[in-house]
Amino acid sequence: MKKIIEVQNVVTKFGKNLVHDGLNLHVNEGEIYGFLGPSGCGKSTLMREIIMLEKIKSGSIELLGHKIERIRSRAAQKIRMQWGVLFQSNALFTSLTVAENIALSLQEYTKLSAEEIKDIVAFKIDIVGLKQFDGTLYPSEISGGMKKKAALARALVMDPKILFLDEPTSGLDPISAREFDTLILKLRELLNLSVVMVSHDLTSIHNTLDRMAVIDNKTIVAEGTLEEVREMKSPFIERFFNEGLR
Protein backbone atom coordinates (compact mmCIF):
# COMPACT_ATOMS: atom_id res chain seq x y z
CA MET A 1 0.00 0.00 0.00
CA LYS A 2 1.27 3.45 -0.92
CA LYS A 3 1.76 5.91 1.91
CA ILE A 4 0.64 9.39 1.01
CA ILE A 5 1.31 10.99 4.39
CA GLU A 6 3.99 10.04 6.88
CA VAL A 7 4.38 11.89 10.17
CA GLN A 8 7.58 11.09 12.07
CA ASN A 9 8.53 12.28 15.55
CA VAL A 10 6.64 15.53 15.12
CA VAL A 11 7.10 18.01 17.95
CA THR A 12 4.93 21.13 18.13
CA LYS A 13 5.40 23.97 20.54
CA PHE A 14 3.74 27.35 20.85
CA GLY A 15 5.91 29.36 23.22
CA LYS A 16 6.00 27.24 26.37
CA ASN A 17 2.99 25.18 25.34
CA LEU A 18 4.25 21.78 24.18
CA VAL A 19 1.38 20.43 22.07
CA HIS A 20 2.87 17.38 20.33
CA ASP A 21 5.80 15.49 21.82
CA GLY A 22 6.80 13.14 19.01
CA LEU A 23 3.87 12.00 16.88
CA ASN A 24 4.17 9.09 14.45
CA LEU A 25 1.50 7.98 12.00
CA HIS A 26 0.96 7.31 8.33
CA VAL A 27 -1.98 7.50 5.94
CA ASN A 28 -2.30 5.11 2.99
CA GLU A 29 -3.63 6.06 -0.41
CA GLY A 30 -7.40 5.68 -0.67
CA GLU A 31 -7.98 5.57 3.06
CA ILE A 32 -10.39 7.57 5.17
CA TYR A 33 -8.19 8.30 8.15
CA GLY A 34 -9.22 10.01 11.38
CA PHE A 35 -7.52 12.22 13.97
CA LEU A 36 -9.25 11.68 17.31
CA GLY A 37 -8.59 13.00 20.79
CA PRO A 38 -9.80 15.43 23.42
CA SER A 39 -10.37 19.09 22.68
CA GLY A 40 -7.08 20.97 22.59
CA CYS A 41 -4.87 17.90 21.98
CA GLY A 42 -3.73 19.38 18.69
CA LYS A 43 -5.80 17.67 15.97
CA SER A 44 -6.43 20.83 13.96
CA THR A 45 -2.83 21.90 14.48
CA LEU A 46 -1.53 18.60 13.11
CA MET A 47 -3.77 19.00 10.09
CA ARG A 48 -2.55 22.57 9.59
CA GLU A 49 1.04 21.35 9.80
CA ILE A 50 0.45 18.70 7.16
CA ILE A 51 -1.03 21.27 4.79
CA MET A 52 1.85 23.64 5.46
CA LEU A 53 -0.08 26.36 7.29
CA GLU A 54 1.87 25.81 10.49
CA LYS A 55 5.52 24.90 11.09
CA ILE A 56 6.62 21.94 13.17
CA LYS A 57 9.33 22.41 15.79
CA SER A 58 11.12 19.18 14.89
CA GLY A 59 10.52 15.83 13.25
CA SER A 60 9.40 15.28 9.70
CA ILE A 61 6.26 15.20 7.60
CA GLU A 62 6.25 13.55 4.19
CA LEU A 63 3.34 14.43 1.97
CA LEU A 64 2.82 12.90 -1.50
CA GLY A 65 6.53 12.03 -1.59
CA HIS A 66 7.81 15.44 -0.44
CA LYS A 67 9.42 16.21 2.90
CA ILE A 68 7.54 19.41 3.60
CA GLU A 69 10.02 20.87 6.08
CA ARG A 70 12.57 21.00 3.28
CA ILE A 71 10.34 21.70 0.32
CA ARG A 72 11.17 24.44 -2.19
CA SER A 73 8.52 27.01 -2.88
CA ARG A 74 7.81 25.91 -6.44
CA ALA A 75 7.27 22.29 -5.41
CA ALA A 76 5.19 23.53 -2.48
CA GLN A 77 2.96 25.47 -4.84
CA LYS A 78 2.48 22.41 -7.00
CA ILE A 79 1.50 20.07 -4.19
CA ARG A 80 -0.83 22.69 -2.68
CA MET A 81 -3.07 22.03 -5.70
CA GLN A 82 -3.35 18.38 -4.73
CA TRP A 83 -5.43 18.73 -1.62
CA GLY A 84 -8.63 20.39 -0.58
CA VAL A 85 -9.56 21.50 2.92
CA LEU A 86 -12.79 21.92 4.81
CA PHE A 87 -11.87 23.99 7.85
CA GLN A 88 -13.52 23.62 11.25
CA SER A 89 -15.15 27.04 10.74
CA ASN A 90 -15.92 26.46 7.01
CA ALA A 91 -14.03 29.69 6.20
CA LEU A 92 -16.36 30.66 3.38
CA PHE A 93 -15.96 34.25 2.19
CA THR A 94 -19.09 36.01 3.38
CA SER A 95 -19.01 38.65 0.63
CA LEU A 96 -19.09 36.03 -2.13
CA THR A 97 -21.96 33.75 -3.18
CA VAL A 98 -21.58 30.01 -2.79
CA ALA A 99 -20.77 29.65 -6.49
CA GLU A 100 -18.21 32.47 -6.31
CA ASN A 101 -16.60 30.83 -3.29
CA ILE A 102 -16.30 27.56 -5.19
CA ALA A 103 -14.96 29.27 -8.33
CA LEU A 104 -12.23 31.23 -6.58
CA SER A 105 -9.29 28.79 -6.92
CA LEU A 106 -10.12 28.09 -10.55
CA GLN A 107 -10.00 31.80 -11.29
CA GLU A 108 -6.78 32.24 -9.39
CA TYR A 109 -4.77 29.19 -10.42
CA THR A 110 -6.04 28.08 -13.83
CA LYS A 111 -6.45 29.65 -17.25
CA LEU A 112 -9.93 28.20 -17.75
CA SER A 113 -12.54 30.37 -19.43
CA ALA A 114 -15.49 31.82 -17.51
CA GLU A 115 -17.74 29.32 -19.27
CA GLU A 116 -15.57 26.33 -18.30
CA ILE A 117 -15.39 27.56 -14.71
CA LYS A 118 -19.16 27.86 -14.62
CA ASP A 119 -19.52 24.24 -15.75
CA ILE A 120 -17.05 22.92 -13.17
CA VAL A 121 -18.72 24.90 -10.39
CA ALA A 122 -22.13 23.58 -11.43
CA PHE A 123 -20.77 20.03 -11.33
CA LYS A 124 -19.25 20.47 -7.86
CA ILE A 125 -22.48 22.01 -6.55
CA ASP A 126 -24.32 18.99 -7.85
CA ILE A 127 -21.85 16.38 -6.57
CA VAL A 128 -22.13 17.56 -2.94
CA GLY A 129 -25.92 17.51 -3.13
CA LEU A 130 -26.68 21.23 -3.29
CA LYS A 131 -29.13 22.73 -5.78
CA GLN A 132 -27.88 25.07 -8.50
CA PHE A 133 -30.02 27.80 -6.94
CA ASP A 134 -28.04 27.47 -3.70
CA GLY A 135 -24.99 28.65 -5.63
CA THR A 136 -26.57 32.08 -6.01
CA LEU A 137 -26.96 32.54 -2.23
CA TYR A 138 -24.52 34.09 0.22
CA PRO A 139 -23.16 32.07 3.18
CA SER A 140 -25.40 34.07 5.55
CA GLU A 141 -28.43 32.87 3.60
CA ILE A 142 -27.83 29.11 3.91
CA SER A 143 -28.10 26.56 6.72
CA GLY A 144 -25.18 25.00 8.63
CA GLY A 145 -25.44 21.76 6.66
CA MET A 146 -25.48 23.67 3.38
CA LYS A 147 -22.41 25.65 4.49
CA LYS A 148 -20.53 22.38 5.06
CA LYS A 149 -21.54 21.18 1.60
CA ALA A 150 -20.54 24.50 0.02
CA ALA A 151 -17.15 24.38 1.75
CA LEU A 152 -16.80 20.77 0.61
CA ALA A 153 -17.58 21.73 -2.99
CA ARG A 154 -14.93 24.44 -2.74
CA ALA A 155 -12.43 21.93 -1.32
CA LEU A 156 -13.10 19.63 -4.30
CA VAL A 157 -12.88 22.24 -7.00
CA MET A 158 -9.29 21.54 -8.05
CA ASP A 159 -9.87 17.76 -8.17
CA PRO A 160 -7.63 17.06 -5.18
CA LYS A 161 -5.97 13.76 -4.32
CA ILE A 162 -6.44 14.31 -0.61
CA LEU A 163 -9.36 15.86 1.18
CA PHE A 164 -8.81 17.28 4.69
CA LEU A 165 -11.93 17.66 6.82
CA ASP A 166 -11.86 19.28 10.24
CA GLU A 167 -14.95 18.14 12.16
CA PRO A 168 -17.22 18.08 9.14
CA THR A 169 -20.30 16.90 11.04
CA SER A 170 -20.02 19.08 14.14
CA GLY A 171 -23.01 21.36 14.51
CA LEU A 172 -25.12 19.28 12.15
CA ASP A 173 -28.33 17.55 13.20
CA PRO A 174 -28.07 13.74 13.21
CA ILE A 175 -29.79 13.32 9.85
CA SER A 176 -27.56 15.84 8.08
CA ALA A 177 -24.51 14.34 9.80
CA ARG A 178 -25.36 10.86 8.46
CA GLU A 179 -25.98 12.33 5.01
CA PHE A 180 -22.53 13.86 5.22
CA ASP A 181 -20.99 10.46 6.10
CA THR A 182 -22.65 8.89 3.06
CA LEU A 183 -21.47 11.77 0.91
CA ILE A 184 -17.85 11.33 1.99
CA LEU A 185 -17.96 7.60 1.25
CA LYS A 186 -19.54 8.28 -2.14
CA LEU A 187 -16.97 10.94 -3.04
CA ARG A 188 -14.09 8.67 -2.07
CA GLU A 189 -15.37 6.06 -4.55
CA LEU A 190 -16.28 8.52 -7.26
CA LEU A 191 -13.19 10.71 -7.13
CA ASN A 192 -10.53 8.25 -5.89
CA LEU A 193 -9.87 10.41 -2.88
CA SER A 194 -7.88 9.85 0.24
CA VAL A 195 -9.50 11.58 3.20
CA VAL A 196 -8.03 12.83 6.48
CA MET A 197 -10.70 13.81 8.94
CA VAL A 198 -10.79 15.22 12.46
CA SER A 199 -13.86 13.94 14.26
CA HIS A 200 -15.60 13.75 17.64
CA ASP A 201 -18.66 12.12 16.14
CA LEU A 202 -18.76 8.45 17.13
CA THR A 203 -21.30 7.45 14.51
CA SER A 204 -19.30 9.18 11.84
CA ILE A 205 -16.10 7.54 13.10
CA HIS A 206 -17.84 4.17 12.95
CA ASN A 207 -19.41 4.76 9.52
CA THR A 208 -16.53 6.27 7.63
CA LEU A 209 -13.04 5.72 9.07
CA ASP A 210 -10.77 2.93 7.85
CA ARG A 211 -8.07 3.74 10.36
CA MET A 212 -7.42 6.43 12.93
CA ALA A 213 -4.91 7.90 15.34
CA VAL A 214 -5.88 8.91 18.86
CA ILE A 215 -3.86 11.80 20.26
CA ASP A 216 -3.78 12.26 24.02
CA ASN A 217 -1.21 13.70 26.41
CA LYS A 218 0.83 15.05 23.52
CA THR A 219 1.39 11.66 21.86
CA ILE A 220 -0.41 9.05 19.80
CA VAL A 221 -1.92 6.59 22.26
CA ALA A 222 -3.40 4.34 19.59
CA GLU A 223 -3.38 3.92 15.83
CA GLY A 224 -5.29 1.46 13.68
CA THR A 225 -8.80 0.30 12.82
CA LEU A 226 -11.67 1.08 15.18
CA GLU A 227 -11.42 -2.45 16.60
CA GLU A 228 -7.69 -2.14 17.20
CA VAL A 229 -8.01 1.28 18.79
CA ARG A 230 -10.80 0.17 21.13
CA GLU A 231 -8.55 -2.60 22.47
CA MET A 232 -5.99 -0.07 23.69
CA LYS A 233 -5.94 0.74 27.37
CA SER A 234 -6.14 4.49 27.66
CA PRO A 235 -8.44 6.46 29.96
CA PHE A 236 -9.42 8.72 27.07
CA ILE A 237 -10.27 5.84 24.73
CA GLU A 238 -12.34 4.02 27.33
CA ARG A 239 -14.28 7.12 28.25
CA PHE A 240 -14.73 8.29 24.68
CA PHE A 241 -16.02 5.02 23.27
CA ASN A 242 -17.97 3.79 26.26
CA GLU A 243 -19.78 7.00 27.08
CA GLY A 244 -20.44 7.75 23.46
CA LEU A 245 -21.93 4.36 22.67
CA ARG A 246 -24.06 4.04 25.78
Q: Which parts of this chain interact with ligand ATP (CB under 6 A)?
A: 14, 17, 19, 39-45, 88
**Residue 37 burial (CB count, 10 A):** 24
Q: How far is the CB of 82 from Mg ion (least distance, A)?
A: 23
Residue with Cβ nearer Mg ion (24 or 44): 44
Q: Tell me the closest approach of the beta carbon of residue 83 to Mg ion, in angstroms.
A: 18
Comparison of 47 and 99: residue with beta carbon closer to ligand ATP: 47
Cα-based distances in Å from 235 to 23, 35, 230, 231, 243: 19, 17, 11, 12, 12
Q: Radius of gyration (Cα) for the chain, nearest Å?
A: 18
Which spans in 33-143 are helix H?
A: 43-50, 73-80, 98-109, 114-127
Nearer to ligand ATP, 8 or 44 (CB): 44
- 65 half-sphere exposure, CB direction, 13 A CA radius: 6
Q: Which residues bind Mg ion (CB under 5 A)?
A: 44
| Adjacent-strand bridge partners of 224 | 212
CB of 14 to ligand ATP, least distance (A): 3
Distance CA 124, CA 140 (A): 20
Beta carbon of residue 201, minimum distance to Mg ion (angstroms, whole number): 13
Q: Which is nearer to ligand ATP, 43 or 148 (CB)?
A: 43
Answer with the entry of Mg ion, ligand ATP, none that 14 interacts with (C-beta below 5 to 8 A by kind).
ligand ATP
